[in-house]
């Protein structure tokens, strides 16, 4: 027989760890929020092909502005932003003056729209898209 004696010794020779391929965002994209429908909060993901000034808004079904989630310059890449119109968040002051609804500062169950605008170099619009989400209480 061609067997060696058992041993508790193991010899491992690591020669290198390959790096994963770089993540390259090839286009602008507003992805579907998750979870949808949501109760207390939802995540809105998006991708930017190049850096630019990003605005991400939430509107109610009547077209009234509910919340400005992003309003500033961002580099190229993948981003996620949380929308959580809860009473605790309002008490903490996270929503400040940009929280405006026709519901006496309370968000009703229903359909909401989220919209992204991206402006590139020279303040030129390069991307705009919209998605729909449902809040259930």
CATH code for position 52: 2.60.40.2550
In a domain, 9, yes or no: no
In a domain, 3, yes or no: no
Q: What is the pLDDT of residue 84?
A: 85
In a domain, 96, yes or no: yes
Averages of pLDDT over each 10 residues, the chain, 137 residues = 65 66 77 92 95 95 90 96 71 46 62 96 94 91
CA 91, CA 32: separation in Å to the nearest integer?
A: 28
Domain carrying residue 64: 29-135
In a domain, 10, yes or no: no
Two structure tokens written together for 60:
């109610």
In a domain, 37, yes or no: yes
Q: What is the pLDDT of residue 64?
A: 87
CA 111, CA 99: separation in Å to the nearest integer?
A: 17
CA 94, CA 91: separation in Å to the nearest integer?
A: 8
Number of domain units in the chain: 1
Q: What is the pLDDT of residue 114?
A: 97
The CA-based angle 22-35-28, given to 5 degrees, is 40
Phi, psi of 121 (to 5 degrees): -60, 145
Q: What is the pLDDT of residue 43?
A: 96
In a domain, 18, yes or no: no
């Amino acid at each position: 027989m061609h067997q060696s004696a058992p041993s508790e010794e193991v010899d491992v020779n690591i020669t290198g760890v390959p790096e994963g391929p770089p993540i390259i965002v090839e286009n602008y994209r507003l992805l579907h929020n998750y979870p949808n429908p949501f109760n207390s909060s939802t995540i809105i993901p998006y991708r930017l092909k190049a850096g630019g000034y990003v605005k991400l808004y939430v509107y109610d079904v009547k077209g009234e502005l509910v919340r400005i989630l992003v309003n500033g310059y961002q580099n190229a890449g993948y981003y996620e932003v949380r929308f959580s119109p809860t009473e605790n968040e309002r008490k903490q002051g996270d929503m400040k003056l940009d929280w405006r609804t026709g519901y006496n500062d309370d968000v009703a169950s229903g359909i909401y729209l989220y919209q992204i605008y991206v402006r590139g170099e020279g303040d030129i619009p390069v991307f705009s898209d919209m998605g729909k989400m449902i809040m259930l209480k």
